[in-house]
Amino acid sequence: MNNKLEARVISVVVVGFLLAGAVAWAQAPGVREPQGSRELVPSPAAPQAAAQDPAELEYNGIIIDNVTLIDGTGRPPVGGVSVMVRGDRIVAIGPGPFAMTMEYPGPRTIDGTGKYLMPGLWDVHVHLSGGRGRGGPDFEAGIRALHGFIYSGITSIFDAGNSADFIFGLRAREREGEIVSPRIFATGPVVTAPGGHGGGRGATLVDSWPEAIAALDAHIELQPDMVKFTFDEHGWGTRPLIPLLDVDVMARAGRYFNEHGIRTTVHISHEYRAIQAIEAGIDTLAHPIIQGPVSDEFVALMASKKVPMVSTLTIGEGYSRLVEHPEFLDRPLYQAVYTPETIERLKTTIRDQYAARAWTTWMKVMTPVAQENLRKIAAAGGVIVLGSDQSAGPQSHRELELMVEGGIPALEAIRIGTLNAAIFMDKERDLGSIEVGKLADMVLLSADPIADISNAQQIDMVIKGGRIIDRAALDLPVNR
């Protein structure tokens, strides 16, 4: 062997040894990538993806080259970045371009020039359509609603109250890969007092302790991802008074769920009830404070305790918006997801109904109050989370718009819709941001959402779990 060839062989062996050592170091227990790193680093050990039929493999990973990265953490966007995905995980983020290897010889490469990559959005307050019909669950309606979410770049949802058979049936099908859908997390029925908010058919009703345990055990058997309580006696707006869940029973029940590894959230609308729920140990708040301006003390409490609070502005603003500005239904995303019949009914019959309701006026007055409450809590360092309280992807985007219109910066709003939402569900180790080792749920945009948050609707591509969603195959009006 001549000297030059011998030297080259030695170099290859040494480099291979060093790389192997780097991988072993990166995968050692307790060792993580530094938070601010943008370098190409090895992926930490990740769970093995389910086996797939080789005929279904469309490509051997994904590389998105030369894209502007908005990673969901709140860090400023970074241009000229490449992101590599193998299997369902993000394995490298750096300046690129990334080279092919013998192990991964043919990744699909996507030119990200002039485009923006952000994490898949979440909506953590959904009541999925199809679960509450008089004739029983309509699974096809539910799947169409799920298609509307994933088409809109929402890759994870939390259903905050629905028929157990319906929502857990769809969750099972999503997790088995039988349907195209966002990731589904769900409570199933809500937990409340007899006659309380949401206490209709199928609800988990509790009013004393320890008598409540049997009902809680039955709920636990459903394997909820999180359990939602309701703690609101109404008597505000145009709503008459109703029974209120006993705070001591709620505290004991919440602790019981926690002891079984299940987090909790609670429907509230008033600062006083929110404080009671927090003191009772409930993990998260399913709504903002809408009955009046929050106190400085409450803002400080939310900032110090970091109790996630879901935004749900759209559900209230939607009444007056439809009455006064029905032309929003002509926007491309609504036209893509809503059927022409639905749009016509909204613009006529439902609009007339909303115009005649005092509730519409009350919610128009109070929505800016809720917006300012959210802004104050976010500015103080509290954890605000995106949730629409509806069942359509375009409404999740309206939630982003309302937060930005209320004074929350667009970069923070994106974190609210991504990483904060994963924190709400206790899934931030795997989801919510574009970082090495996390699941590859991402949205590629053709316009800058920081310049205009509505640009988050300019979607070129949706990726869930490392797989590109075929948006043209979804059961939606845009594809008919």
Question: Hey, what domains does the chain have and what are their CATH numbers?
Answer: 33-119+433-471 (2.30.40.10), 120-432 (3.20.20.140)
Interatomic CA distance for residues 354 and 374, integer angstroms: 26
Token pair listed for 23: 């991988």
Interatomic CA distance for residues 314 and 12, integer angstroms: 59
Confidence of residue 236 (pLDDT cuts 50, 70, 90): confident
96 DSSP assignment: S
Q: What is the DSSP string of 398-462?
A: HHHHHHHHTT--HHHHHHHTTHHHHHHTT-TTTSSS--TTSB--EEEESS-TTT-GGGGG-EEEE
Which residues does 286 contact at the CB level (< 8 Å), separation at least 6? 125, 160, 228, 265, 266, 267, 268, 310, 312, 387
Q: Cα-flanking dihedrals φ and ψ of residue 184, to 5°? A: -110, 125
170 by Cβ neighbours in 10 Å (0-12 / 13-18 / 19+) ranks as buried
478 DSSP assignment: G
Q: Cα-flanking dihedrals φ and ψ of residue 467, to 5°? A: -115, 135
Percent residues over pLDDT 90 in the chain: 81
What is the residue-averaged pLDDT of the chain?
Answer: 88
Taking CA 313 as the corner, what is the angle to CA 310 and CA 314, rounded to the nearest 5 degrees?
Answer: 120
Confidence of residue 52 (pLDDT cuts 50, 70, 90): very low
Q: What is the pLDDT of residues 99-124, one digit of tens each?
A: 655 565 667 899 999 999 999 999 99
pLDDT at 19 over 80: no
CB 126 within 8 A of CB 185: no
Confidence of residue 9 (pLDDT cuts 50, 70, 90): very low
Residue length of the chain = 480
Q: Which helix (H) or strand (E) holds 265?
A: strand 263-267
Which residues does 305 contact at the CB level (< 8 Å), separation at least 6? 278
CB 122 within 8 A of CB 155: yes
Token pair listed for 437: 């080792």
> What is the pLDDT at residue 99?
62
Average pLDDT over residues 211-224: 98
Confidence of residue 243 (pLDDT cuts 50, 70, 90): very high
Between 250 and 236, the more confident residue is 250
Interatomic CA distance for residues 72 and 74, integer angstroms: 6
Q: Cα-flanking dihedrals φ and ψ of residue 21, to 5°? A: -65, -40
Token pair listed for 366: 């109070």
